[in-house]
Structure 1
């Protein structure tokens, strides 16, 4: 275990954060402490008392270690792997050296700022999407091994379970609208990636890819069922009190369609002013049922419901518009990611290349380092130079 940690830290030291990276790290720390210490009056009194003693970092570190040891350790690791290493880890895949930093540090730190059940649900859905992107990247490279598939599938199930727990909290609070939006967005992501994986399987089917695709389909079906249940509840609400929410969702649906029009046009040369039905013919369908022309039809259906005063049903229709448009956008984004990765054989070489470029183009400023011991079963000494 200690040896593995030492290898990760050795890899991290190869990439030197630039001055801009260091400034960004400091801003992140400041944002973090503002959010988490302002709620603790005892911590504030402690900070006020010790405000003139030591550096900025050591004053805040004292607060953290006295109130939440695990949070302090996570913050230390986040600082350690900040800057270039953190960015490099974002591109790593299961089985690669920096992947533990991506999932155990980067994602953990970002999760601290999600805020509330709605934000937590959105972040769990995004983490699930990141796992799907990783599976697709490995499949394209022919590296989706049984071990990698099992790792990704396990994490995907964990994210889906956490997402479900957060949406249940929203429902318990009577916030069906936020629950619907969360389910709708997650379904759009799962459906888009399901189609991407299906296309990859058609090009070069493997046992592991087919197995993983089945798991994704099962999870998408569960989320779709929950989304439909939310829509039933909302559609039953035809009260005037729901009118404002439906009008807001109508504007959001129109804006989303315009956004996707422009997004696709900027990458295909197709006019952004073309009708949605025309854009749908440019092979950007997410499925037979879920293409942009269907989104256009859902928009018209929702507008008709608005005229009849069926505001709950209209809200559900406009949510469908956003979901279908987002599916189309995700398909295009996936194609772009594949193009960016196509020129490199492995993520390991990408990390090495980034480290070499960083070393050549940035002047390293040496600063006194504090030696910090991270104790697990043994001890690992790391240099933290900020």
Structure 2
């Protein structure tokens, strides 16, 4: 048979139905025999992979917890200090949901800055860079504490008074401690006195807030009505209405 005739025969050749069925069956058997499940999803290997992954996650969590715990004793300049202020303290800030909890934590955080300063000054590790870092954080933390106390005053004025009193006491105590450290460490006395001025100013500011809150509590206990409230009430009187005010002279009563 010529080549051209062979090509024409192949082109027009067709399979019988029986041949098609046999070919389809063999193709299906080949697909089934060659199909393999992915190793990851095999029963044994899947659970092995799951155990390894779980162990890795637990290890990371434990390592992070250990690092977080160790960072609590870190000082400015230490490698873990960033973990202390940027991770631990931020988490505690987010965990303080209520206004009272936020105010209490702000007092603790402010005190931590002063304790760090005292530890650095006592060991002679305080320098200009660390002093500026602590002073900046101390200023921010004290401002946040004052705002938290003022905000707490709106709902729980007694708790605000107690918190402001604790903050002021903490500032006064650490002020005296810094004075003592400055006397003992003459080499860094000038750096300590720079922060001492800031501590004194913050203590005075907190004292003013405390006195204002205590005055409001005293006025509320005495039943004193603010002048602006009385003026507002008088302004709301309708035309023709009169208000009778009876003034009793205590000397006459006697």
TM-score, structure 2 length as denominator?
0.60
Distance 1:214 1:82, change over 3 A: same
Number of the residue aligned with 2:64: 81
Alpha-carbon distance, 1:217 to partner: 0.8
Aligned to 2:206: 223
Looking at structure 1, the residues matched to 219 and 102 of structure 2 have their Cα atoms a distance apart, in angstroms, of 27
Alignment of 1:212-361 (within 5 A): 212-238=195-221
What is the Cα deviation at residue 239 of structure 1?
5.9
Is the aligned partner of 1:191 residue 2:172? Answer: yes
Cα distance in 2, alignment partners of residues 196 and 114 from structure 1: 29
Task: Report how far residue 111 of structure 1 moved.
Answer: 2.0
The alpha carbon displacement at 1:172 in A equals 3.1
Higher relative contact order (CA 8 A, sep 6+): 1
- Does the 8 Å CA contact 2:122/2:185 hold for their aligned counterparts? no
* CA–CA distance in structure 1, aligned partners of residues 174 and 62 of structure 2: 33
TM superposition shift of 1:226: 0.7
Q: What displacement does 1:238 show?
A: 3.3
List, as ranges, runs of 4+ consecutive aligned residues in structure 1 with deviation greater than 4 Å. Answer: 77-80
Q: For the structure 1 residues 119 and 86, does the alpha-carbon distance in structure 2 shift closer, same or farther, using more than 3 Å as the test?
A: same
2:115 match: secondary structure? helix
1:130 is displaced (CA, Å) by 0.5
Counterpart Cα distance in 2 of 1:124 and 1:146 = 25
Specify the alignment match of 1:176 in structure 2. Answer: 157
Q: Which residue of 1 aligns with 2:182?
A: 201
Q: Verify: 1:156 aligned to 2:135, yes or no.
A: no
Secondary structure at 2:78's aligned position in 1? coil
Q: After TM superposition, give the deviation of residue 202 of structure 1 in Å.
A: 1.5
Is the Cα–Cα contact under 8 Å of residues 186 and 223 in structure 1 kept in the other structure? yes
Q: Supply the distance in 1 between the matched residues of 2:143 and 2:194 (Cα, whole angstroms).
A: 19
The alignment status of 1:211 with 2:194, answered yes or no, reads yes
2:73 counterpart residue number: 91
The root-mean-square deviation of aligned C-alpha atoms, in Å, is 2.5
Tell me if the contact between 1:89 and 1:102 (Cα under 8 Å) persists in the aligned partners.
yes
**1:171, CA displacement in angstroms?**
2.5
TM-score after normalising by structure 1:
0.40
Change over 3 Å in CA distance of 1:106–1:95 after alignment to 2: same
What SS is found at the alignment partner of 2:221?
coil
- Provide the C-alpha distance between the structure 2 equivalents of 1:169 and 1:192, rounded to a whole number of angstroms: 25
Structure 1 portions without partners, runs of 5+: 1-53, 62-76, 241-386
Mapped partners of 2:105, 2:61: distance in 1: 18
More helix by share: 2
For 1:228 and 1:208, the matched residues in 2 are separated by 31
CA distance in 2, matches of 1:79, 1:159: 30
| Matched residue count | 167
Contact 1:114 1:120 in 2 (8 A): yes
On the 8 A contact 2:164/2:210 being kept in 1, the answer is: yes
Q: What corresponds to 2:99 in structure 1?
A: 117
